[in-house]
Amino acid sequence: MFVLTGKFAIGPRKVIAEMICERGGDWKETVCGQTDYLVVAAEASRDWKHSHEGTKIIRAMELREKGGRPDLVLEPMLAKALGF
C-alpha cells in the first residue's frame, strides 16, 4: 500500500498512483496501519504544516514508532522504480 505526499516533479499524483497500480501496487490517499510506503515528493505541498513535513509524514512517523512501518521513499527512488 502506497501513499503519496507533496508536489511531484515526475507528474500528478493521480498519474503516479495509476502507474503504481498498473505494476501491482495499491494506493490510498491517507496514511493508515496498512500503509507500507509513504512516497515523499521533492517539493513540499502547500498543505504541509511545516516547510519539511506535513500531516501524512507526521502520521507515518507515529506509526513507525509503534510498529516499524511505513517505510519512507523519496521521489527519486520511486521515479527510478517506475522507469523515469
Tens-digit pLDDT profile for residues 30-51: 999 999 999 999 876 666 555 5
Task: Kindly list the domain boundaries of the chain, sorted by start residue.
Answer: 2-82
Any residues with CB less than 8 A from the CB of 35 and at least 6 apart, and which? 1, 2, 3, 28, 60, 63, 69, 70
Confidence band, pLDDT 50/70/90 cuts, at residue 55: confident
Record the pTM: 0.85
CATH superfamily of 2-82: BRCT domain (3.40.50.10190)
pLDDT band at 17 (very low <50, low <70, confident <90, very high): very high
